[in-house]
């Protein structure tokens, strides 16, 4: 098991910059936080080795990919395994969480249109019942934890 030290303020600054732009060159990160490239590279490598930094990802605009209708769906089912498999294979499902309370799943969906969202809801009815909340505007999204 990897030894994990808590990130210090400098590590958090590096992670915040990488969260904003995962392709930011190490030299530019160093300029932002007044550190040399080797020192920044060493800190990033340490954060990766400790499993704190787990991935570098591209972010896409769903609206430009014909997935502009976004919604949260609360879902209640007793067919959990089948429902999860269905969600894993469905292009509409962007995120799926197991939750507590009256409903047992929370989904974030992305659909081409209201009609395709309705068709997706209809297809899910075999697994249980849902409550859908259309996202009208995202005020805060993918916020850095720092």
- Domain ranges across the chain: 1-59, 62-134
Question: Are residues 30 and 37 in contact, defined by beta-carbon separation less than 8 angstroms?
Answer: yes
What backbone phi and psi angles, to 5 degrees, belong to 99? -130, 170
Q: For the CA atoms of the chain, what is the radius of gyration?
A: 20
**CATH number for the segment(s) 1-59:** 1.10.10.10
What torsion, rounded to 10 degrees, do the Cα atoms 68, 72, 76, 80 define? 60
Domain with residues 62-134, CATH architecture:
2-Layer Sandwich (3.30)
Band (pLDDT 50/70/90 cuts) for residue 3 is low
Q: What is the mean pLDDT of residues 59-73?
A: 90
**Total-model pTM:** 0.79
36: tokens are 């040399």
């Amino acid at each position: 098991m990897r030894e994990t030290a808590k990130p210090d303020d400098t590590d958090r600054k590096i992670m915040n910059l990488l969260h904003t732009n995962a392709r930011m060159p190490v030299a530019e990160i160093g300029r932002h936080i007044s550190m040399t490239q080797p020192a920044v590279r060493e800190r990033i490598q340490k954060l990766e080795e400790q499993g704190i930094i787990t991935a570098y990802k591209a972010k896409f605009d769903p609206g430009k990919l014909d997935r502009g209708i976004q919604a949260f769906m609360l879902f209640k089912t007793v067919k959990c395994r089948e429902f999860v498999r269905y969600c894993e294979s469905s292009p509409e499902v962007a995120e799926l969480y197991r939750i507590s309370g009256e409903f047992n799943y929370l989904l974030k969906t992305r659909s081409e249109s209201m009609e395709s969202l309705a068709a997706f809801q209809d297809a899910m009815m075999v697994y249980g019942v849902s409550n859908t909340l259309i996202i009208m505007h995202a005020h805060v999204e993918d916020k850095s934890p720092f």
